[in-house]
Amino acid sequence: MKIITYNVNGVRSAISKGLVTWMMREKPDVLCLQEIKANADQIPMEEFQALGYHCHWFSAEKKGYSGVGLLSLKKPDHVEYGIGIDRFDAEGRLIRADFGDVSVISVYHPSGTTGEIRQTLKMEWLGEFYDYAHFLLESRPKLILSGDYNICHRPIDIHDPVRNATNSGFLPEEREWMEDFLNSGFTDTFRVFNKHPHHYTWWSYRAGARTRNLGWRIDYNMVSNALRPDLMNAWIQPDAMHSDHCPAVLDIDC
């Protein structure tokens, strides 16, 4: 099973930059999208359906903002939208699809870069997401949590940990949350297979950051520890250029 998570920074924009052709080449079994920035009726779904994908979208109430999608070659047994908390679900943050005893989630954690109010909301969301994931574990122990977490876990995951130490996405409380979350029963699949620095999934549009590889690794395929023995490989694709993010890929025998 090949699972790819990709913050496309606008699905219609990504399509115009060759997203569908890339999908034809990569053939993911499940593609988790974040920041789709569109309502379902604005997305040319026939392009995905022509490749054999079942498409599920959870858009934000605010037009042109946030939103997640989950595309799969196999029809899910069941799909859930949101975490059941209105103020977060209004932003289209999470969608879950069940395939047999495995559940795949596409999640878009909030960014706190616009100020204190959004940073506070981000930390509140992280607390609710932690509880949601652990409650779900009780009935669905085989979880794959794919998405944009908007957090660099460790200094190895960011190009300049010193000067970014007070920036949202690398704050001590965010990194502590990530550490606690992983220690509570989840695995960062990329770091199982790659322990080296300079691997990132997001670059600022400013100052040629991507060309110089001045990036942040904020997109993850997390799995519950029940699935850790089934991991086959995990990597990122920095050469995919449909967004300011790049895809993160997981191969898993499930």
190 and 199 in contact (C-beta within 8 Å)? yes
Q: Is 56 helix (H, G, I), strand (E, B) or coil?
A: strand
Name every residue whose Cβ is closer than 8 Å to that of residue 183 and which is 6 or more positions away in sequence: none
> Count of CB atoms within 10 A of residue 213's CB?
13
174 and 151 in contact (C-beta within 8 Å)? yes
104 and 136 in contact (C-beta within 8 Å)? no
Helix axes 116-139, 172-183, angle to 10 degrees: 0
Alpha helices in 32-171 (DSSP H): 45-49, 86-89, 116-139
Sign of the Cα torsion 217, 219, 224, 230 reads: negative
Known catalytic membership, residue 148: yes
One of 89, 98, 101, 148 is an active-site residue; which one? 148
> Count of CB atoms within 10 A of residue 11's CB?
25
d(CA 184, CA 147): 18
> Count of CB atoms within 10 A of residue 52's CB?
11
As given in the structure block, the two tokens for residue 64 are 């042109």
As given in the structure block, the two tokens for residue 164 are 């970014």
Q: Which residues are catalytic?
A: 148
